[in-house]
Structure formats: structure tokens, C-alpha cells
Amino acid sequence: MEKTILFATSNENKKREVQELLHNQYIVQSLSDLHFEDEIPEPFNTLEENAQYKAAQLYRALNLPCFAEDTGLEVFSLGNAPGVKSARYAGEQRSTEDNISLLLRNLEPHTDRSARFRTVLAYCDGTTSFLFEGIVEGTIGKIKRGTGGFGYDPVFMPMGYDCSFAEMDKATKNKISHRGIAIQKFIKYLQSSK
């Protein structure tokens, strides 16, 4: 029988991806599913601290094992920016359009467009807290390509593929993505700790 697992996110795109990755094993519930309206802040300067903080906050609020993740796009020529500030790169409005436009503008003078997505997933069950990392390397394209995915997907070209994340079918993105890799490590941990 499938078990339920809590994911400390209100981002339905992320929830959908994670549910696809955990299909047949877990039913993923997000903050919206639980009608948990309080926004959990991401106050720290590292993905690790933010992920751990969100998982611990949700555990404290609901007293149920849960996991949280934080993701950043790290662009080499920009000193790994936007990184932990990826959601608010162009301002507090957290606009994907504005974030991508600013990224493309800031990269114009640079020839090296290499980048990576990094996800840190934190699991908290009250007694222990574990971290799992997933990284996918690639480059930032000069124009947006594709309509799938979300966030920076239209400008992220994963290494070894001649397309953006937004042009990829979901299953392929899930298999090679930062979040997919972190979740696979998490699943291994869950299976080994049964």
C-alpha cells in the first residue's frame, strides 16, 4: 500500500515532478493539500540551511515526517549567481519572465555560459535530519526554447542534449534533473531505512 509523505512546498510544479518520481511508492502531499497557508520563509544564504529550516518548521507544525528542498541555478561566469537567490533574482515580485530577462542580459558580455542546477533536499523525522544533493550541469541558451517545465527551464540546456529542459518530455527531465537525482538518493535512503 502507498504511504503518504509530506513535501514542504506550495509549488505545484515541484510537487507534480516529485509525485511522478515517487509514483507507486508514496502519495505526496504539499502544503496546499494540507491547507497549510503559512508561507515558510527561506531566510538563509545557503540551499542547505533553507531546506533544513523548511523541513524542521513543517515537522514542528505538524509533527509528521516531511521533506523540503531548495534549488538554485548557479552560473559560473556570474560567480554562481543567482544561486540561493534564484527565485528573487530580478526582485521580490519573483517573476520568472523578469528573472530570465535579467539572467540573459547579465550573461551578454560573457562567452562562458556554463551553469548548473543544484537541489538540496532535507528530510526531517523529528529525531534525525538528512540532506540529499542533486546536480545537473549544462549551459544557458541565448533565447528561450520550449513551453514545458517551469522557472528557468526554457534557457537551461542540459549537458549532452540539444534542447532545453522546457523542450524535454517530463520523464527525461525527471531522470536527469537536479531534483530527480536528489529524490533518487532520498528514495534509496527511505528504502534502506525501512
Q: Which residues are catalytic?
A: 70
Task: Choose, by CB under 6 A, the member of 7, 8, 11, 83 that binds ligand IMP.
Answer: 11
Instruction: Compute the distance between CA of residue 7 and CA of residue 140 in angstroms, rounded to an integer.
Output: 29
Distance CA 1, CA 23 (A): 12
Residue 59 or 117 having the CB closest to ligand IMP: 117
Query: Considering only 22-30, 58-66, 143-151, 185-193, which stretch makes contact with ligand IMP by CB under 6 A?
Result: 143-151
152 binds ligand IMP (CB under 6 A): yes
Interacting residues of 173 by C-beta distance below 8 A, sequence separation 6+: 17, 148, 149, 153, 165, 180
Q: Which helix (H) or strand (E) holds 21?
A: helix 12-21
Q: Tell me the window of 67-75, 100-108, 127-135, 140-148 that interacts with ligand IMP (CB under 6 A).
A: 67-75
67: number of Cβ within 10 Å: 28
Least distance in angstroms from the C-beta of 145 to ligand IMP: 13
Residue 74 binds ligand IMP (CB under 6 A): no
Minimal distance, residue 96 CB to ligand IMP, in Å: 6
What gap in Å lies between CA 56 and CA 181, rounded to an integer? 22
Three-class DSSP category at 89: coil
Query: Which range touches ligand IMP (CB under 6 A), out of 100-108, 120-128, 145-153, 186-194?
Result: 145-153
Nearer to ligand IMP among residue 141 and residue 151 (C-beta): 151
Task: Single out the residue of 22, 122, 179, 181 in contact with ligand IMP (rule: CB under 6 A).
Answer: 179
Query: How many residues lie near ligand IMP (CB under 6 A)?
Result: 17
Q: What are phi and psi of 13, to 5 degrees?
A: -65, -45
C-alpha cell at 161: 542534449
User: Judged by CB under 6 A, which of 18, 31, 87, 190 binds ligand IMP?
Assistant: 87
Is 71 a binder of ligand IMP (CB under 6 A)? yes
Question: Could you tell me where the beta strands, DSSP code E, fall in the chain?
Answer: 3-7, 26-29, 66-75, 81-83, 114-124, 129-140, 156-158
Residues near ligand IMP (CB under 6 A) are 11, 42, 70-71, 73, 86-87, 96, 99, 149-153, 165, 177, 179
